């Protein structure tokens, strides 16, 4: 299995950034939904559980996007994480607000549907922000 890793890395360079971003997003969504479900099971309310699940999912997706999607180079983690967090604050703010609005408007609706809807709405905005702000110079250097 380990002998295939270099091949996968080479092939990974051929995969468009949007596809990589969406794959990382699916992982982030799984973390988000899993943590949210766990915290709800432990008795937290929707708003608190969602805030905590968003925070953890954000950390996971930053590391994965940095490693596989955009591969920023020459920047410190703190600087890049601050730029990433700024974009995420806007995108996840939209996601979180959508979640809260749906939960308030349709209290009998399964909260996971509201969570998923908010994530889908924010995904495009987040990709553009990460591509053109957080990782812009490294992305442009690799893709001409």
18 compared with 103, residue with greater pLDDT: 103
Work out the average pLDDT over 94-118. Answer: 93
Query: What average pLDDT does the structure give for the chain?
Result: 83
| Distance (Å, whole) CA 80 – CA 93 | 19
Residue 4 has pLDDT above 60, yes or no: no
Q: Residue written as tokens 């973390």?
A: 31
Structure confidence at residue 98 as a pLDDT band (50, 70, 90):
very high
pTM score of the predicted model: 0.71
Q: At what angle do helices 111-129 and 46-64 cross, to 10 degrees?
A: 40
pLDDT of residue 65: 86
pLDDT of residue 144: 47
């Amino acid at each position: 299995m380990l002998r295939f890793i270099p091949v996968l890395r080479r092939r990974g360079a051929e995969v468009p950034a949007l596809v990589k971003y969406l794959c990382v997003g699916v992982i982030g969504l799984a973390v988000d939904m899993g943590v949210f479900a766990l915290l709800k099971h432990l008795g937290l309310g929707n708003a608190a559980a969602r805030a905590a699940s968003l925070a953890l999912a954000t950390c996971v997706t930053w590391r994965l996007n940095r490693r596989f999607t955009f591969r920023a180079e020459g920047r410190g983690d703190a600087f890049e994480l601050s730029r990433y967090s700024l974009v995420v604050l806007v995108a996840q703010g939209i996601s979180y607000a959508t979640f809260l609005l749906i939960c308030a408007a349709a209290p009998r609706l399964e909260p996971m549907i509201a969570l998923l809807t908010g994530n889908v709405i924010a995904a495009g905005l987040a990709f553009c922000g990460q591509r053109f702000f957080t990782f812009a110079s490294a992305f442009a250097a690799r893709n001409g």
